[in-house]
Copies of this chain bind each other. A is one copy, B any other.
Amino acid sequence: MRPEIVLFGDSLTEQSFSAGGWGAALADTYSRKADVLVRGYDGYNTRWALILLPHVFSSKRAPAVVTVFFGANDATILGGRLGRLHVPVEEYKDNLKTIVNHLKECYPTSLVVLITPPPVDEEGPKEYARSLADEEALEFPERRNEVTGLYATKCLELANEMGLHAIDLWSKLQETEGWQNKFLSDGVHLTPEGNAIVHQELQKVLNETPVSAAKLPLDFPHHSKIDGKCPEKAFQYLSLLSSHYLI
């Protein structure tokens, strides 16, 4: 049975198969080794993710890896236009913990990787608001980078307390000068370059585990191992495997 990698999160996960997306890149890395399944929900916070949880993870089969990538919506500013998405930072941490505990209970063997929300470029949405002369949006920004940073810290704290792998995307992206336009398309979502960083950081984490793409075998022989005149030979092990499992 081919391992499964499930990507659970908000729009940053939902959009991960768009051009240059980190989910698609991961599927390419794991081609012929694991299936990558997107479970991304645009606009969702961890409070709503909790309601989805038993439905999204209803399969009896344990995924090899689950990425949990929430926080960008939880961190919206209460007074702003996206305030209905807001979840207080302590509740965000509790919700993440409930998500992880649920996964651990259902799938003790799964590797859970937490990803912090990326930083926010406050100028991006502001410019857009200015272009529309949208005074309300200018006065009440939807997100603040500093606030999102508090959520990122809580995510990392939880990973530390529970001994989980985590990617500090909030800090990682800000290490590069010009991160605001290089990695973010509208101040919030990721450019292909930003997506590439998520893919790269996730690869670093996975490469240290038994589900490293390099360690997983190809599902079937590479074409160079197949004898054109007697192709069946290269596939004989499959019938041996089948009979083994039948016993």
Contacts and interface: CB of A to CB of B under 8 A. Distances in A.
Interface stretch (A14-22, A88-96, A200-208): A14-22
A35 interface: yes
A89 B24 CA distance: 34
A48 B160 CA distance: 48
Interface stretch (A104-112, A119-127, A148-156, A231-239): A231-239
A32 B28 contact: no
Interface string A180-192: 0000000000001
Contacts of A35: 35, 37-38
Contact of A19 (B20, B31, B226): B20
Contact of A14 (B14, B20, B32): B32
Interface string A4-24: 000000000011011111011
A51 B231 contact: yes
A23 B31 CA distance: 12
A223 interface: yes
Interface string A41-66: 11110011001100100000000000
A60 to B, nearest CB: 13
A238 B55 CA distance: 8
Contacts of A176: none
Given A24-B21, A85-B223, A232 B51 contact: yes
A229 B48 CA distance: 11
Copies of this polypeptide in the complex: 2
A237 to B, nearest CB: 11
A31 B109 CA distance: 27
A220 B43 contact: no
Contacts of A51: 231-232, 235
A28 B20 CA distance: 11
Given A43-B223, A55-B220, A223-B41, A31 B17 contact: yes
27 contacts: A14-B31, A15-B28, A17-B24, A17-B25, A18-B28, A19-B192, A21-B24, A23-B27, A24-B28, A27-B27, A32-B41, A35-B35, A35-B38, A41-B220, A42-B222, A43-B222, A43-B224, A43-B226, A44-B223, A51-B231, A52-B220, A55-B220, A84-B227, A84-B228, A84-B229, A85-B223, A85-B228
